[in-house]
Every structure is written in structure tokens, then in C-alpha cells.
Amino acid sequence: MAFAGKYELESQENYEEFLEAIGLLKAKTDHKVVTEVVQDGNDFTWTQSIPNWTWSNKFTVGQECELVTMTGSNFKAPVTMEGGKISIQFPQYNLTAEIVDDKLVMICTTPGEKGVTFTRINKRI
């Protein structure tokens, strides 16, 4: 159950550039992000919260899952785990997440030659 827990934002890089790349430039970026991960074997509930907004996905590693983007659009994608790293291909970016030194490290990368890589490090609380 390496991922299970509650985390808060410790640091992030390229967040505003990432939001611009996926069309959310006007989003507020100076908020306290809390991520809660509930894990039961390969079944996950992954929730991110900021004041006045919550985004949650339930998925099973190794299966195609019905997921929701940050903007509320539904899509289907396989969720994989290799070497302790979860990977999900969202419509506008690829997400990977892993635990490194008891911190949740999330990396989102937009495709293309001018792709943007956004990194968020969350400390366990």
C-alpha cells in the first residue's frame, strides 16, 4: 500500500506553463493542494482538493478505466504500473506518479516538440 495516504503540496515546477498548455491558463495557481490516495491492492481512489474544488478518480491498475479530467470531461484509458510507477494517458498529457522517499511525486507531460513537463512533489501529512 505504498501510495495510500494524504499528502500536501511541497513544491512544483512549470505548473503555470502546464495549465496554459492544457487550456487552463486562468486557473489560480497559489493554492494549497491536498492529495488523498486510498489504495486497496490494485484499486485506487485518487482525490485532489483545493479550496472550493475537488477532483477525484477511481481506477484499477491493469485495466481500462473511466476517468475524469481536471475540467470535468470523461474519457477511458488504461492504467498501468511498472516499477512502482503509475502511468495514465490523459487526453492532453501523460501522468506518472510514484513514491520517492515517502513523498508522492507526480509528473505530467504534454506531447509534442514543445511539450511541457510539470512536476509536483507532495509530502505525506
**C-alpha–C-alpha distance, residues 13 and 11, integer Å:** 7
Higher pLDDT, 19 or 121: 121
Of 105, 101, 104, 74, nearest to 90 by C-alpha is: 74
Q: Which fold, 5-124?
A: Lipocalin (2.40.128)
The pLDDT of residue 112 is 85
Compute the mean pLDDT over every residue in the chain, rounded to the nearest whole number: 91
Each as own residue / partner, the long-range contacts of residues 78-85 (CB below 8 Å, 24 or more positions apart, any chain) are: 79/44, 81/42, 84/2
Q: Is pLDDT above 90 for 38?
A: yes
**C-alpha–C-alpha distance, residues 116 and 21, integer Å:** 7
pLDDT in tens, 77-125: 999 999 999 999 999 999 999 999 999 999 999 998 889 999 999 999 9
